[in-house]
Structure 1
């Protein structure tokens, strides 16, 4: 089977553009430093794509999930010690409170119903969630600055949602307790804790 590695995520992480490489490197570093103080036994990367973040973090007992078979084939090649499976974010194949940490990085902006996805993420989370989305309008401005998606005013064709940091936090607060907010340009990165009722 021939892999289609023409997805935006693959192109971004494999870019030779020094500006893109610098921004991605800073983003990955912010993710890593955010997680350094947490005590977690297992982690799930929801919407893991080709597994670049999984590879960078190299967490013990990690699992990756994505809807794309092609992305998962590549993820398995670069992450030999990680479990991967194909699943929809709306119906994750795990019991309640299965993971200490759930990550959904650069995922929610691609979804028709991000609120339902957050409910499912909350269901399988035992404690922490790390979530990121493009910080609009800065993400689009950066795309325009580098001549990308000009016809769509900088918006990626795969992005059907968009939030400022403030609006993103407001959505998350319905489900989680916010612990840390970071804005590694051009993203919003939020570490949350499952709310105890």
Structure 2
């Protein structure tokens, strides 16, 4: 099993896309959030678990809409922020520090499992998808940056030029076609959205 120390120097959210003042970036993030909410609503579930919740932006969106949401992230600093936000809005402590590779699907499961902007950071994506599939009782919602559009947009805004626009910590890179081909080995794809510059997929885990 891959342990946390194999990738604990990987940066997380270097760019606060949810609160950026840039109007173009804000429009793209609005498209991401709209696709995310639409796909979640399509599942008609109430119980959600978010892997890689970060500061809790997506989880808080769902909590405010009446979903029963819990989540986890690798970094304790962002979990503290997520719990502070959740407690301040009256939802209590909802988030824990956990490594995706060490999550026990027997102990942690939900009708819908969300994993957005996480897989591109992981060294063993297949193992992660296997864990996510076992965690999900019914639905899985995942998203990743869409390449090469992601890098092109970074270069256009003058970021990470030395690495040709690759965001630090992104060790996996997929076009929509390649990402869907990867997913097909682990899930049944239900719907695909492509809010610029992401690929977002609603799936059902395969059952043997």
Per the normalisation by structure 2, the TM-score is 0.87
Map residues 175-190 of structure 1 onto 2, 5 A cutoff: 175-190=186-201
CA distance in 2, matches of 1:96, 1:7: 26
Q: Which residue of 1 aligns with 2:98?
A: 87
Cα pair 1:54 1:79 within 8 Å, conserved = no
Count of matched residue pairs: 192
CA distance in 2, matches of 1:52, 1:109: 19
Q: Which residue of 2 aligns with 1:135?
A: 146
Range with bigger deviation, 23-32 or 90-99: 90-99
**Equivalent residue in structure 2 for 1:151, among 156, 162, 169:** 162
Map residues 1-197 of structure 1 onto 2, 5 A cutoff: 8=13, 11-58=16-63, 59-80=66-87, 81=91, 83-95=94-106, 98-197=109-208
Q: CA 1:192 to 1:114, structure 2 compared with 1: closer, same or farther past 3 Å?
A: same
CA distance in 1, matches of 2:170, 2:42: 32
Cα pair 2:105 2:134 within 8 Å, conserved = no
**Which consecutive residues of structure 1, in runs of 5 or more, have no partner in the other structure?**
1-5
Q: CA 1:142 to 1:189, structure 2 compared with 1: closer, same or farther past 3 Å?
A: same
CA distance in 2, matches of 1:75, 1:53: 10
Structure 1 segments of 4 or more deviating over 4 A?
Answer: none
Q: CA 1:55 to 1:10, structure 2 compared with 1: closer, same or farther past 3 Å?
A: farther
Cα pair 1:97 1:123 within 8 Å, conserved = no
CA distance in 1, matches of 2:20, 2:140: 28
Range with bigger deviation, 103-112 or 85-94: 85-94
- Root mean square deviation, CA, Å: 1.7
Cα pair 1:98 1:124 within 8 Å, conserved = yes
